[in-house]
Amino acid sequence: MAQIELTGIERVFTLGDSEVHALHELSVSIDSGEYVAVMGPSGSGKSTLLNLLGLLDRPNAGTYRLEGRDVTTLSPDEQAEVRRTRIGFVFQSFHLVPRLTAAENVALPLMLAGIPPAERHARVAQALKDFGLETRAHHRPDELSGGQRQRVAIARATIMRPAVILADEPTGNLDRSTGQDVTHLLEDLNAAGVTLIVVTHDPVMGGRARRRLMMEDGRLLHDVREPAPVP
Amino acid sequence: MTPADTLRFATRAASGYPLRTALMVLAMSIGVAAVVVLTALGDGARRYVVNEFSALGSNLVIVLPGRTATGGFGLGNLVTSTPRDLTVRDAQALLRAPLVTRMAPLSVGNSEIAWGGRLREAMVVGTSGDYVDIRAFRMAEGNFLPREDLGRATAVAVLGTKIRDEIFGSEPAIGRIVRVGDRRLRVIGVLGKTGQGLGMNTDELVFVPVATAQAMFNTNNLFRIIVEARSRDAIAPAKQQLEDIMRLRRDGELDVTLITQDAVLGTFDRILGALTLAVAGIAAISLAVAGILVMNVMLVAVTQRTAEIGLLKALGATGRNIRLAFLTEAALLSLAGAITGFALGHLGAWGLRLAFPVLPAWPPDWAVFAGIGTALTTGILFGVMPARRAARLDPVQALSRR
């Protein structure tokens, strides 16, 4: 059974008196541990797809099964629970809370999950160490470089050990070499078994994924699979 | 999210924007401080007046002859028309009331006092030795009238300080024989300066034993009887007991009027209490304004932190988590404002007491609680709307904001 199963997804936005089909009759299934790049021009619906996958948005029609469970009909609180435990987000603009230190930002999901402080500290310290941030633990985001910020964000996305990581242009605000570092970091996570779904404009990054979903006008244009990763 | 985490998160959020928080706390604290200072002023005025009245002597019931109230048609009304005099026997009878501690009859008349060629018109008050204690007078020299049988007309006098100064000047007065009316009396004491009280300037009075005064003015009447009740709470029952005694002595007809000091005091107490409340109400308006300010600031905070709210939702925060976090922040701001205002208000009241030492400008407890309570309530109430707005934000739109 596929980890993610979308069937007949419709997402319609009403702009003034015209209707825009951001997603139209979209059906796709993604297995656990896959590395998927969602690509396409602006307005092709790839961000909408990512928001739907992350339960930040609801489809107008169609069903979304995550790990066999229909999640479109869940209550907002139940969806929040799914986001907290199963899904990690990585954003183009990092979305770190500016007044909190790196460690506190990483600890946010644990805090929201109500995990006691002692366990929280241990897990945050371990995560910061894993991502090479132990010396930056008590720095605020504005004292960190772009690459460090995205690493903090990735540490935060993975601290709850989610099953799926959704990354929206994770290297969009980074220069080439730090962008590559971040890409490698994400790929390492994928190699450890986490499903990685990346929305990107960058054909180089898209080319590294084993599977590419090419979107256009809210439809899936191509679904390209490659048998083996590029070494 | 545990309550401790919510509190910590809200504290970090509040301290993360120091200027905004400081202004907010300032606005709230001015409101609370206004309530504290203004009620301190109002209540201080009330206490000042009450104290001045208490200086008359405390827990007094004044008995005067005659009746002010119009009686109904009855057997008693038919038979008698003139009220009977108030006598020394009546006064002594009043002491039988269990709730009465002390009593002083008053017999008043105008006469003249002369010594060493100096002569002065003076009001002569015949009373008993207890009068000095009832009125809480201080003696400047010598002693007050002796405590003796009310029928004895001892030939002694106690002078008010002004009389003493005008008759004797710098010479000693104690032990001198003065002429008062047609009597020769020995001066045994001089009262300390007291000023106005019960409509008479005590400094210009000559006190003599009540029997002496009655003999001097050739009368059996008493002008007044002043009775002291055991305590403030005992005034009303004591008044009842006194009425019963008088009614018994007058064959069932009450032809005397009893005035309690409490009634006068109570009126002032009420007027000034109402004034304090009114002032507190006006000050409370500033608290409501501060509450609206809390709402405004929190709404700005929600707008400012839209992206953060979106992020928290993406990280799995429920609407309840976010609502609580923002509500806690509003409550914290209000609490900080209330505490600061409480301190500021007490500082202001202290300044008032320093500037006007006669005014006991202490804020009443109820005002302090009401001020802080109102601050917290308005802060939290006005925090609900922004918190709900934050919780309802659409995460996709919130996240798209940079």
Residue A31 to residue A1: CA distance in whole angstroms: 8
Does A56 contact B313 at a Cβ distance shorter than 8 Å? yes
Say if residue B78's pLDDT is above 50.
no
Q: Confidence class of residue B199 from pLDDT cuts 50, 70 and 90? A: low
Residue A192 in any domain: the answer is: yes
Cβ contact, residue pair B313, A113, below 8 Å? no
Measured between beta carbons, the chain A residues lying within 8 angstroms of B319 are 76-77, 80
Q: Which residue among B16, B314, B319 places its CB closest to the CB of A54?
A: B314
Is the pLDDT reported for residue B75 higher than 70?
no
* Residue B77 confidence (pLDDT): 43
Q: How many C-beta atoms lie closer than 10 Å to residue A228's C-beta? A: 6
CB-based contacts of B318, cutoff 8 Å, min separation 6 = A76, A77, A80, A81
Give the Cα separation of B343 and A62 in Å (integer).
61
Lowest mean pLDDT among A136-150, B9-23, B50-64, B204-218: B50-64
Question: What is the percent of chain B where pLDDT is above 90?
Answer: 23
Poorest-confidence range of A48-57, A212-221, B44-53, B335-344? Answer: B44-53
Cα separations (Å) of B370 from A182, B39, B139, B335, B365?
57, 11, 45, 13, 8
Has residue B174 got a pLDDT over 80? yes
pLDDT of residue B305: 87
Q: Do B315 and A108 touch (CB under 8 A)?
A: yes
Asked if residue A230 is part of any domain, the answer here is: no
Domain count, chain A: 1
Q: Which of B267, B285, B254 has its CA nearest to residue B83?
A: B254
Measured CA to CA in angstroms, residue A115 lies from A67, A123, B150 at distances of: 24, 10, 87
Residues, chain A, total?
Answer: 231
Least confident segment among B13-22, B73-82, B246-255, B299-308: B73-82
Q: What is the mean pLDDT of residues B328-352?
A: 91
Residue B55's pLDDT is what?
63
Cα separation, B213 vs A77, in Å, equals 93
Beta bridge partners of B178: B185
Cα angle A59, A61, A63 (rounded to 5 degrees) comes to 80
Residue B79 confidence (pLDDT) above 60? no
A206 pLDDT higher than 90: no
Distance between B376 CA and the closest CA of chain A, angstroms:
26
CA–centroid distance for B59 within its chain: 14
pLDDT at B70 over 80: no
Identify from A11, A52, A56 which residue to disrupt to test chain B contact, counting B C-beta atoms within 10 A and taking the largest count: A56
DSSP string, B181-217: TTEEEEEEEEEPP--EETTEEGGGEEEEEHHHHHHHH
Give the model's confidence band at B401: pLDDT under 50 very low, under 70 low, under 90 confident, else very high: low
Any chain B CB within 8 A of the CB of A45? no
**Dihedral sign from CA coordinates of A72, A78, A84, A85:** negative
Whether residue B340 has pLDDT greater than 90: yes
Contact A91 B316 (CB under 8 A): no
Cα–Cα distance for residue pair A153/B40, rounded to 1 Å: 55
Mean pLDDT of chain A, nearest integer: 91
A204: pLDDT confidence band, cut at 50, 70 and 90? confident
A99 contacts chain B (CB < 8 A): yes
Report the C-alpha gap between B143 and B161 in whole angstroms.
13
Residue whose structure tokens are 């202004």: B23
Of residues A38 and B287, more confidently modeled: A38
Q: pLDDT value at position B169? A: 87
Round to whole Å and give the CA distance between B64 and B90: 11
Dist. CA A42–CA A15, nearest whole Å: 17
CA-based nearest residue to A227, from A43, A7, A35 = A35
The residue to which tokens 């656990």 are assigned: A32
Q: Cite the DSSP H helix spans in B97-251.
A: 131-134, 161-168, 210-217, 235-249
pLDDT at A37 over 80: yes
Q: How far is CA B119 from the centre of its chain?
A: 42
* Predicted pLDDT of residue B296: 86
Backbone angles phi, psi at B101, to 5 degrees: -95, -45
Q: Which residue segment(s) compose the domain that A60 sits in?
A: 4-225
Q: Any idea which residue has 């001020």 for tokens?
A: B371
The domain spans of chain B are: 3-53+266-400, 106-221
Mean pLDDT of A192-215: 91
DSSP state of A135: G
Tens of pLDDT, residues B46-67 = 888 777 766 666 688 888 887 7
Most B-contacting residue of A49, A108, A142 (CB-CB within 10 A), to test interface: A108
How much is the mean pLDDT over chain B?
85
Q: What CATH number is given to the structural domain containing A217?
A: 3.40.50.300
Sign for the pseudo-dihedral over CA of B365, B368, B372, B378 = positive
pLDDT given for residue B80 in this prediction: 42
- A contact test, residue of B17, B19, B315, B318 with most A CBs within 10 A: B315
**% helix, strand, coil for chain A, step of 5:** 35, 30, 35
pLDDT recorded at residue A86: 93
pLDDT for res A101? 93
Q: What is the pLDDT of residue A212?
A: 93
A231 is a domain residue: no
A101 phi and psi angles, rounded to 5 deg: -75, 170
- pLDDT value, residue B256: 83
For residue A15, the 8-state DSSP code is E
What three-state secondary structure class fits A63?
strand
Residue B211: is its pLDDT beyond 80?
yes
CA dist B336 and B338 (Å) reads 5
Question: What are the DSSP E strand ranges found in A16-169?
Answer: 18-30, 35-39, 61-66, 69-70, 87-90, 164-168
Distance in Å, alpha carbon of B303 to nearest chain A alpha carbon: 14
Q: Which residues of A touch B316 (CB under 8 A)?
A: 80-85, 109, 112-113, 160
pLDDT tens digits, one per residue of B117-166: 889 999 999 999 998 888 888 888 889 999 888 888 899 999 998 899 88
- DSSP three-state, residue A27: strand
DSSP state, B308? H
A142 inside 8 A of chain B by CB? no
Q: pLDDT (tens digit, 9 = 90+) per residue, B226-241?
A: 898 888 788 888 888 9
Please report the number of interchain residue pairs, chain A to chain B, with beta-carbon separation below 8 angstroms: 70
DSSP annotation of B7: H
* Residues from chain A contacting residue B311 (CB–CB below 8 Å): 91, 95, 97
Q: How far is B318 from chain A (nearest CA, A)?
A: 5
Cβ–Cβ below 8 Å for A114 and B2 = yes
Percentages helix, strand, coil for chain B (3-state, rounded to 5) are 55, 20, 25
Q: Decide: B248 and B87 in contact? Cβ < 8 Å.
A: no
pTM above 0.90, yes or no: no
Q: So what's the pLDDT on residue B81?
A: 43
Task: Say if the Cβ atoms of B395 and A114 lie within 8 Å.
Answer: no
Pairwise pLDDT comparison (A52 vs B201), residue with the higher score = A52
